[in-house]
Amino acid sequence: MTSPPLGAARATSTPRAAARLRAVLTYAASLTVALALATAVVTLSGHSAADTLLALYQGSLEGGASLGQTVDEAVPLLLVAVGAVVCTRAGLFNIGQEGQVLIGATAGAAIALSAPGPGPLVLALTLAGSALGGALWAGVAAVLHYRRGVDVVIGTLLLVFVAGQVVSYAVNRDFLLQESAVPGQILAPQSDPVPEAARLPRLGEYPDFNVGGGVFLALAVTLLLAFLLRHGTWGFKVRMLGLNPVAARRAGVSAGWIGGGALLLSGACAGLAGGVVLTGGVYRLQPGLADNVGWEGLLVALVARNRPLLAVPVALFFGALRAGGGFLASTGVPRYLVSVVTALLVLAAVFPAAYAELRARRRRGSGGGA
């Protein structure tokens, strides 16, 4: 490179640094406000704010076990978030991941509980089935959109509630996925545990830090999709479609194939997240299996501003909140208080990104004529 471009780059670096500083300050300010509010709420309800925050810290970051817990919580969030990023980049807003997680887990459980064969193969089939299940569930919304003009946001959102009913139905019918009857025991609405062979291995023993194998899966998916979005012709088309669907259509990017494909892909990621939750720790299909993973994964994507690699640290942050929240609840702080505190912290994390997005949109709106 010759000198003029370098000079140009240096000239633009100053405002960029200023923007970065502003972003950091916004985050610090919003986190401070959230912590102050959380302290007030906890104190007012008669608990010690210091103890509460300490418990949050202990549950998420102190010691190997807590860190492992944080990573485990982050894995499905990351998978959901990366899928959401791809879909959003293609200009479609899939917000039904919560349902796609559930259907993915259901499909995985059905395979794990019925497929014969050697262990690793069953596990692979289970995870593949989960991804396929999630993709098909998103595919329903895609078909509704491209054939009938149903808005993707509405379609995917409403299918979340249908998914809940489907899982409830499946785990309450003995001919479907309900657990096998044991004499003298009341049947719970859940499936049998998946066989040992279909469980994700746990790795690492030192000293008490260990994580589920899902983390490698999630990182691999994230890296692959980030790379393809950036460098692949597929990613080129996805971005073109998201940024200017009219120009994309003229250039031969089919909204149905590329856009619908991105929607299915994001469903597959969410379904895979469901499969990882199932085979990585819960082991049984339960109606509450998704446990807000779908919704919080969306928040991860939002905070990461639709950049797949940025989703990794953000997912870890949200995973830490989930782990800390769980630990906090076990110390006797009422569940609702835990929810309020984590929700405040989530808001603190989401606010700067949402604020920046709103500002950018307003600026684009006013400067559009130029």
Where along the sequence are the contacts to other proteins (CB under 8 A)?
Answer: 4-5, 8, 231-234, 236-237, 239-240, 243-244, 246-255
Distance in Å, CB of 65 to other proteins, minimum: 41
Distance in Å, CB of 266 to other proteins, minimum: 20
Q: What angle (nearest 5°) sits at the alpha carbon of residue 320, between those of residues 77 and 345? A: 95
* Closer Cβ to other proteins, 4 or 365, answer by number: 4
Choose among 109, 71, 88: nearest CA to 287: 109
Distance in Å, CB of 210 to other proteins, minimum: 36
Report how far residue 100's alpha carbon sits from residue 290's, in angstroms, rounded to the nearest whole number: 9
Task: Name residue, tokens 């684009």.
Answer: 364
Distance in Å, CB of 227 to other proteins, minimum: 9
DSSP at 281: I
Q: What is the CB-side half-sphere exposure of residue 326 using CA atoms within 13 A?
A: 14
* Closer Cβ to other proteins, 48 or 254, answer by number: 254
* Closer Cβ to other proteins, 254 or 330, answer by number: 254
* Closer Cβ to other proteins, 1 or 44, answer by number: 1
Distance in Å, CB of 258 to other proteins, minimum: 9
* Closer Cβ to other proteins, 19 or 124, answer by number: 19
Distance in Å, CB of 256 to other proteins, minimum: 8
C-alpha pair distances (Å), 323 with each of 129, 303, 317: 28, 19, 10
* Closer Cβ to other proteins, 244 or 331, answer by number: 244
What the block records as the tokens of 229 is 């979005």
Mark 106-123 as b/e (b = at least 16 C-beta within 10 Å): bbbbbbbbebeeeeeebb
C-alpha pair distances (Å), 124 with each of 33, 66, 108, 120, 133: 45, 28, 10, 6, 14
